[in-house]
Structure 1
């Protein structure tokens, strides 16, 4: 694991422990690197938030590509749309921090939009209908939004198989 990944791991852990994105000093200390070493990779707290967000996008991208290869893109999207446990806590902290820290130099929102379009295409390839793919994607967005905002605790208990059935998609999970 390279230093950048180690720093992101520590920042993620500290975010989960404290419920907020940590200061650069806290990340440097917990990572065992100098602040200059940290700032080489993440020159600001906003850059650290972007790094965490880009890592999350990469993880979701990998999960979606693997699922699409198995004909499960729709099921994977809806499953990923209900973050649980540590992921839910991390996403909530990142959402708050990203809005507060986002600057004009940040391209993570554009990258997220491109990734979402890519994932929707994977779903469309699976279901054979771009409109149905959009509906599935938007249902996932709604599930995620409710989970992140804490508006509906029952979202965590969503029956994915039933939801997929109502959306006209077979659940092909192994």
Structure 2
């Protein structure tokens, strides 16, 4: 079984049953493999969680980069716009997306597991102010999107599609002055 499928199985266990249920045995059962097969790829639960967190961070970074590339050169506040667009794509995505981000939320509870997420947050939010037209507004917009993500991680159905679209427009509009 491939490593990615094992990570998918772990995310399913985490999303459907919660952090206490995330055991190597539960993941192996979800994936339909022996525990030994799982241990070949992930010798500990910590290694499994680290891999879920790393994959999620990498995918978000790639999504932000793809939005920046799609804007072309000279787009004001390109990074913050891409951050908003990527986050809203995740917020309006399928259940698999929510499972993936549940891994990040679960990892944040353990200081050792939170280190990669903390580093990513420093990178995502500790940007050079000179890159933004109005650094304070750009920071406010990125933090607002983080807050929205946090709220929706607890209640994914809180806002409907129309409300989310309005929030996205408003946040991007703040960057326009």
TM-score by length of 1: 0.70
Match of 1:49 in 2: 49
Residue of structure 1 aligned with 2:140, choices 135, 138, 141: 135
SS of 2:175's equivalent? Answer: coil
SS of 1:9's equivalent? Answer: helix
Is the CA contact 2:52–2:103 (under 8 Å) kept in the aligned structure 1?
Answer: no
Q: Distance in 2 between matches of 1:37 and 1:5?
A: 13
**C-alpha deviation, 1:93, in angstroms:** 6.4
Is the CA contact 1:7–1:31 (under 8 Å) kept in the aligned structure 2?
Answer: yes
Residue of structure 1 aligned with 2:172, choices 164, 169, 173: 164
> 5+ residue gaps in structure 1?
none
Alignment deviations for residues 17-37 of structure 1 (CA, whole Å, 9 cap, x no partner): x24254312322343443223
Is the CA contact 2:87–2:149 (under 8 Å) kept in the aligned structure 1?
Answer: yes
Is the CA contact 2:7–2:52 (under 8 Å) kept in the aligned structure 1?
Answer: yes
SS of 2:159's equivalent? Answer: helix
Instruction: Say if 2:115 is the partner of 1:116.
Output: no
Match of 2:5 in 1: 6
Is the CA contact 2:67–2:82 (under 8 Å) kept in the aligned structure 1?
Answer: yes
Q: How many residues align?
A: 161
TM-score by length of 2: 0.69
Alignment deviations for residues 117-155 of structure 1 (CA, whole Å, 9 cap, x no partner): 333438963x33433332222111111122123399238
**C-alpha deviation, 1:70, in angstroms:** 3.1
Instruction: Say if 2:79 is the partner of 1:73.
Output: yes
Is the CA contact 2:67–2:85 (under 8 Å) kept in the aligned structure 1?
Answer: no
> 5+ residue gaps in structure 2?
72-77
